[in-house]
């Protein structure tokens, strides 16, 4: 297992061939890129897996319909998952969706668990989103609290890179127990 992973986020204005970037170094690298629709996400995911990516993760705006198409395109060659939100986040994620739909500027963080990550140097800000790689659950909680305690705070956090319930709970607790919607990737039973 090399640790290579990809995150596909929903954006119908970005170009997946241009608006893509890598976070991390060496074998612990995450490729992050947009897709405008589930068909494009499925095609991109299959290409990424052909190139050696072992884990494909979809942002919370995608949902199960996207995940099904990506899973079908990838087959059993990689692990596929999508960000889902727990009960403690339902009210805050509904508020986020309403504010997003109204065009309000929002602040988001994608926190990515990755071997040997350094959250100081493995950090990219592409407004309105901050991407940060962290080595473990405790660091993820610390980083989430740090970002949320900035002026304006955070409006959404999505966790990638095989966070379990314990790590997700640490981030939820560090950011007010549901005030900020926290989503984490849950994986399809198919794949590696």
Residues of the chain with pLDDT > 70, as a percent, come to 96
Q: Is residue 168 part of a domain?
A: yes
Q: Is residue 19 part of a domain?
A: yes
Tokens of 85: 């939100």
Average pLDDT, the chain: 90
Nearest in space to 6 (alpha carbons), one of 35, 142, 145: 35
Q: How many domains does the chain have?
A: 1
Contact 144, 174 (CB under 8 A): yes
**In the block, which residue shows the tokens 């966790």?**
159
pLDDT, mean of residues 128-147: 94
- For 68-98, how does the pLDDT look when each residue is reduced to its tens digit (9 = 90+)? 999 999 999 999 999 999 998 999 999 999 9
- For 97-116, how does the pLDDT look when each residue is reduced to its tens digit (9 = 90+)? 999 999 999 999 999 999 88
Predicted confidence at residue 1, as pLDDT, reads 34
Q: Is residue 180 part of a domain?
A: yes
Domain range for 118 is: 5-187
Q: Is residue 109 part of a domain?
A: yes
Predicted confidence at residue 158, as pLDDT, reads 96
Backbone angles phi, psi at 78, to 5 degrees: -155, 160
């Amino acid at each position: 297992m090399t640790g290579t992973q990809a995150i596909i986020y929903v954006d119908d204005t970005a170009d997946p061939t241009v608006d893509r970037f890598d976070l991390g170094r060496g074998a612990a690298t995450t490729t992050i890129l947009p897709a405008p629709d589930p068909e494009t996400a499925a095609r991109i995911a299959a290409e990424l897996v052909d190139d050696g990516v072992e884990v494909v993760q979809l942002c919370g705006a995608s949902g199960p319909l996207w995940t099904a198409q990506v899973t079908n395109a990838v087959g059993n060659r990689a692990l596929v998952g999508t960000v889902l939100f727990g009960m403690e986040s339902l009210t805050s994620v509904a508020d986020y969706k309403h504010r997003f739909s109204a065009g309000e500027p929002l602040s988001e963080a994608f926190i990515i668990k990755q071997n040997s990550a350094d959250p100081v140097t493995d950090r990219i800000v592409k407004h309105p989103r901050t991407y940060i790689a962290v080595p473990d659950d405790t660091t993820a909680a610390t980083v989430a609290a740090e970002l949320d305690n900035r002026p304006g705070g955070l409006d959404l956090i999505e966790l990638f890179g095989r966070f379990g319930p314990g790590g997700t709970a640490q981030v939820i607790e560090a950011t007010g127990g549901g005030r900020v919607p926290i989503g984490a990737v849950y994986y399809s039973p198919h794949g590696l």
